[in-house]
Amino acid sequence: MRPTIAHVDYVTDPEGSADPIGFLLDALGSPGAIPLSLAGALVTIGLVLAWARWRPLEAARARFVERAEGYREYLPWIVRLSVGLVLIGSGVARVLFLPTAEAAGWAALALTATGFLLLLGLAVRPAALVALALYAVTLAGNPQLVMMLDVAGALGVALLLGPGRPSLDDLLRAAFPRGPGARAATENLASGHYGDVVPLLVRLGLGGAFAASGIADKLLIYDQALAAVERYDLTAVVSVAPELWVLGAILIETALGLAIIAGVLTRFSAAIGFAVLTLALFALPDDPVIAHVGLFGLSSVLVVTGAGRWSLDHAVLRPLGERLRSR
């Protein structure tokens, strides 16, 4: 059986489809496609504005955020575990992140080794730097890797935060306090040194992966998406044309990705992304679990950190909600 590490299990030759724009126009021309799309957009915008105005369950939300903020010290661990497992899966399968990109022996060894170093919390920053460089080189030769931007985002965060606790670096630092050990990542995050950079990197990685999945995987390779609808008999679940299934996936994944990138209702958007991933794992029996671990990890990070300062949540929605409530 061919190993699968990417976020999708290729059911056709993953080459670009002939006419993505023509497919999109045909799908939008299907009966009910445009009204349903507009209705969905209007309902979503209405719900966002209503939430900004009335803030239902605000006390419960505030308690949730307060408790989530207390988990910041575990962020380096969450990131290390999630991206480390993806790297190990790629290395063991001897692929460069994607099932279509075979890894040379040295590259597979590098992925496996850096993955284990991240899991153990040993030499975390050098390991993250090596893996990030390998990702960048692979991306230059295989643009499809944009669908796994979550890996790049997680490696960037690991490079910034270091090992955190629990980790071997932390234990070695305690044993050899004058040695070169690692700084406690929580000191940097708690002090606010990376308080805005980390959520931004996570949003770019997670949101970029969702948006790329919608655009690159569902639209540009729509033949593959149509084959997946047929393979899993999705039209029996919701009786619409296969093209509408694909159109819905394109719109949902792209909109969710853009919302996360821009920082719109970020904790809620991350939770929705977590739910979508979970649904995909149970609905698609051979969906590659290991490839989704990075997405699950970054979704969890955003639930803890929120959007950060550089986001629409902070710059627009919060002030807008305050003005609406003051009237």
From first to last of the 327 residues of the chain, give the pLDDT tens digit.
Answer: 344 445 554 444 456 667 888 888 888 888 778 888 888 889 888 887 787 777 788 889 889 999 998 999 899 999 999 999 999 999 999 998 887 788 889 999 999 999 999 999 999 999 999 999 999 999 998 888 998 999 999 999 999 999 988 999 888 888 887 766 544 444 454 445 577 899 999 999 999 999 999 998 888 888 888 888 888 888 887 778 888 889 988 999 999 999 999 998 899 999 999 988 888 777 776 666 677 889 999 999 999 999 988 998 888 877 766 676 666
Please, what's the b/e burial string for 3-13 (b: 16 or more CB within 10 A of its CB; e: otherwise)?
A: ebbbbbbbbee
CA atoms within 13 A on the CB side of 110: 18
CA atoms within 13 A on the CB side of 77: 13
**Rounded alpha-carbon distances, angstroms, from residue 307 to 158, 203, 293, 301:** 18, 8, 21, 10
CA atoms within 13 A on the CB side of 250: 26
Q: For position 94, what pLDDT does the model report?
A: 92
Q: For position 212, what pLDDT does the model report?
A: 92
- C-alpha 219/C-alpha 21 separation (Å) is 8
Q: For position 14, what pLDDT does the model report?
A: 54
**Element (DSSP H or E) covering residue 305:** helix 289-305
- C-alpha 310/C-alpha 155 separation (Å) is 20
Q: Do 121 and 164 contact (CB within 8 A), yes or no?
A: yes
Residue closest to 23 by CA, chosen among 257, 244, 258: 244
Please give the model's pTM, rounded to 2 decimal places.
0.86
Cross-strand bridge partners of residue 95: 102
Single-letter code of the amino acid located at 57? L
Structure token digits, residue 33 = 């496609």
Q: For position 313, what pLDDT does the model report?
A: 86
- C-alpha 53/C-alpha 66 separation (Å) is 21
